[in-house]
């Protein structure tokens, strides 16, 4: 059963406790309460909870629209629990269905869809030329509206060959692809990928804020977008590792496989 998480029902109560999020540190402020999460508890090699997640399988049209090189599967070798409370998404170099790489792309579509709130995940990232992990969201009306009219919120994108940069981006009609509204945060490349970090957005009807480890680094207001604001509808969550694509280029001899993205948890908080 699809669950849509939506805060507008108690908007009049929320008005009294609204405040500027410029210095927000997320749920710790007491503004939000947890309404959904996946903590990835379960035995080794179990698939992620199918009441929360489904899979995009294959390579999509034009490599999921980005000329990606992997075939995404629903196999535990590419996405499964590690038995210690983590989700593993693993990109492998192997021949499969006429492709040279496999990976996984899991999503909450038709399971859990969200409108407004704080959406966050604690993740340890992979690295390497041509490795492209992401934590992002698409509008649930993508089949009827198409992309970019459905909207896209990239909570975290990471080029594996430039491990000193995290990107947060908004895509919509008139500001998509290379014209997306983006910002980046520079990090310490030598050790950043060796630890877990929390990537989050706080999404309201008039703006979206991006956070890395509870530090605000990007904000987009409704009136800033050069086209239509399409973020007043439910969205679903996606976690994946792409291999290759126009954003990162192909792997080369320096790329080590397998590469794994570890996800400790994904959580959604909303205002009362």
Model confidence over 49-68: pLDDT tens digits? 999 999 999 999 999 999 99
pLDDT at 188: 80
Predicted pLDDT of residue 133:
98
228 in active site:
no
* Residue from 143, 145, 125, 127 nearest 135 by CA: 125
15: CB partners within 8 A, 6+ apart: none
The total of other beta-carbon atoms located within 10 Å of residue 3's CB is 16
Supply the pLDDT for residue 1: 44
User: One of 113, 120, 140, 157 is an active-site residue; which one?
Assistant: 157
Domain boundaries, the chain: 34-271
Say what the pTM is: 0.90
Residue 66 confidence (pLDDT): 95
Residue 57 has a CB neighbour count (10 Å cut-off) of 14
Select which of 113, 152, 190, 194 is catalytic.
Answer: 152
Q: Does the annotation count 140 as an active-site position?
A: no
In this structure, are strands 197-203 and 117-124 parallel, antiparallel, or unpaired?
A: antiparallel
Q: Which portions of the chain are predicted below pLDDT 70? A: 1-30
- Please state which architecture CATH assigns to domain 34-271: Sandwich (2.60)
DSSP string, 77-91: TTEEE-SSS-EEEEE
């Amino acid at each position: 059963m699809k669950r849509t998480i939506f805060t507008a029902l108690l908007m009049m109560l929320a008005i009294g406790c609204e405040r500027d999020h410029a210095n927000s540190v997320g749920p710790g402020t007491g503004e939000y309460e947890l309404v959904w999460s996946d903590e990835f508890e379960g035995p080794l090699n179990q698939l992620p909870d199918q009441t929360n997640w489904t899979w995009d399988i294959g390579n999509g049209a034009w490599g999921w629209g980005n000329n990606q090189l992997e075939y995404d599967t629903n196999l535990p070798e590419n996405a499964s629990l590690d038995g210690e409370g983590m989700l593993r998404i693993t990109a492998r170099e192997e021949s499969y269905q006429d492709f040279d790489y496999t990976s996984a792309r899991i999503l909450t579509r038709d399971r859990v869809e969200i409108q407004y709130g704080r959406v966050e995940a604690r993740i340890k990232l992979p690295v390497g030329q041509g490795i492209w992990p992401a934590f992002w969201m698409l509008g649930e009306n993508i089949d009827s509206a198409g992309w970019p009219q459905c909207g896209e919120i990239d909570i975290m994108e990471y080029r594996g060959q430039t491990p000193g940069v995290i990107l947060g981006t908004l895509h919509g009609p008139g500001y998509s692809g290379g014209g997306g509204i983006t910002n980046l945060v520079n990090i310490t490349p030598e050790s950043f990928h060796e630890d877990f970090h929390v990537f989050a957005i706080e999404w309201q009807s008039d703006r979206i804020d991006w956070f890395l480890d509870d530090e605000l680094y990007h904000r987009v207001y409704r009136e800033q977008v050069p086209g239509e604001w399409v973020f007043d509808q439910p969205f679903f969550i996606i976690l994946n590792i792409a291999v290759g694509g126009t954003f990162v280029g192909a792997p080369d001899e320096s790329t080590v496989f397998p590469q794994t993205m570890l996800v400790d948890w994904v959580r959604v908080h909303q205002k009362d």
